[in-house]
Amino acid sequence: MRFLIWSAIATCLCLFDLMRGRWWHALMLDDAATAAVVCIQPAANLAQEYLFTQSRTCDRPLYTQEAEQRGAKVTFYFYSTNSEPLAQPSGRQKQLYMWQAMNWPRYSPAGIRIDAKMHLRPEEP
């Protein structure tokens, strides 16, 4: 029942904001609804850890902030070897903006251990 009331109020506010030109509230309504469901849930119903892959690099779901406040771990993992831009002729690599825009609490580059082993291994003929 709490979610139904929240949904009605949030939808009305989004429609009102759309008429005033504030489109971003309507854009975020789906994500906000998921966060509202997490807020309503007892902490025992939430997972202990949430893992996200590189497919959602720039946007962190709103519900992860509530889950984190309630004791869950939120981790963004990626393969470090495929996350770097191509080398430029000048030798300098431009940093991708997505790394600056992200706000995940924990990062786990899955390829680091593999990379270290590859660099330590002698080259084969």
For 67, list phi and psi in degrees, rounded to 5. -60, -40
User: pTM to 2 decimals?
Assistant: 0.68
Residues 114, 120: Cα–Cα separation, whole Å: 10
- Start-to-end CA span in the chain (Å): 68
36-92 pLDDT, tens digit each = 999 999 989 999 988 887 766 667 889 999 999 999 998 887 766 566 666 667 766
Report helix, strand or coil for 92: coil
Q: In this structure, are 11 and 63 located in the same domain?
A: no
Range of the domain at 32: 1-40
Residues 94, 7: Cα–Cα separation, whole Å: 43
Q: In this structure, are 68 and 106 located in the same domain?
A: yes
Residues 62, 57: Cα–Cα separation, whole Å: 14
Q: In this structure, are 10 and 31 located in the same domain?
A: yes
Report pLDDT for 112: 44
Q: In this structure, are 13 and 67 located in the same domain?
A: no
Report pLDDT for 110: 65
Report pLDDT for 37: 93
How many domains is the chain built from? Answer: 2
| Contact of 107 with 75, CB cutoff 8 Å | yes
Q: In this structure, are 121 and 89 located in the same domain?
A: yes
